[in-house]
Amino acid sequence: MTDPVLATDRLLLRDFEPGDYEAVHAYAADIEVVRFMSWGPNTEVDTRDFLERAAESAAARPRIGYELAVAHLQDGRLLGGIELSLAAEDSQQAMLVYCFSREAWGQGYATEAAEAMLMLGFDVLGLHRVWAGCDSQNTVSAHVLEKIGMSLEGCMREDVRVRGEWRDTLLFGILENEYKARLSEQPSRGPLRAVSYLCKHMRAGLYIILL
């Protein structure tokens, strides 16, 4: 499959580029942004290493990692990043991860980007299951995962150490049949349904999605 470039009504999801460094570092070095993350706040070296790893992942064939920059569709501002990472080429399961700058909070961008990634996963990559984890204290992220149709599957107690403190991780997941049932029940979701329709044609070489 050609490398994806996805667009929703407000967002463009694309591979990271070297020129994204300043915008990525601005949010990755923000202690408030990474408060619930096991990494960060980033040093300049950390951010450059991240962009190098993202480029290597994008160039890998077969590609099993889709770590995409999330930019504003109209003005190109980088708002954050989102990733769909397959355990292996033929696993049919993937992990969803995202991180957004503070200026992007509270505007529904994470939900919009995550729904587009589910469509990439299920409609294009043919996945069976997508899962995500979030800090048990990160109620905003948990709400995003619930909004995109994921169900709470369990809690891993004190499995991650974040800046010296052991934290619990909530596990969320959604199956392909649940995703399809949810999509069919919400015909009014015009922009994202259009993305879903176009995603299906990416197998035939269409990879730039504009609405």
The pLDDT score that the predictor gives to residue 197 is: 40
As a whole-number percent, the residues of the chain with pLDDT over 70 amount to 87
Q: What is the pLDDT of residue 42?
A: 98
Q: Quick: pLDDT tens for 13-31.
A: 999 999 999 999 999 999 9
Res. 3: pLDDT tops 60: yes
pLDDT at position 2 is 58
Does the pLDDT at position 203 exceed 50?
no
- The predicted structure's pLDDT at residue 204: 36
What pLDDT score does 89 carry?
73
Higher pLDDT, 6 or 193: 6
Q: Examine the pLDDT at 140 and tell me if it is beyond 70.
A: yes
Q: Is the pLDDT of residue 184 over 90?
A: no
pLDDT score of 8: 95
What pLDDT does 174 receive? 98
pLDDT digits (tens, 9 = 90+) for 185-202: 875 554 454 454 444 444
pTM of the shown model: 0.87
Which of the residue ranges 51-55, 79-83, 207-211 would you say has the lowest mean pLDDT?
Answer: 207-211
Give me the pLDDT at residue 185, please.
84
- The three-state DSSP-derived secondary structure of the chain is CCCCEEECCCEEEEECCHHHHHHHHHHHCCCCCCCCCCCCCCCHHHHHHHHHHHHHHHHCCCCCEEEEEEEECCCCCEEEEEEEEECCCCCCEEEEEEEECHHHCCCCHHHHHHHHHHHHHHHHCCCCEEEEEEECCCHHHHHHHHHCCCEEEEEEEEEEEECCEEEEEEEEEEEHHHHHHHHHCCCCCHHHHHHHHHHHHHHHCCCECCC
Q: Between 87 and 65, name the one with better pLDDT.
A: 65
Q: What's the pLDDT at 91?
A: 84
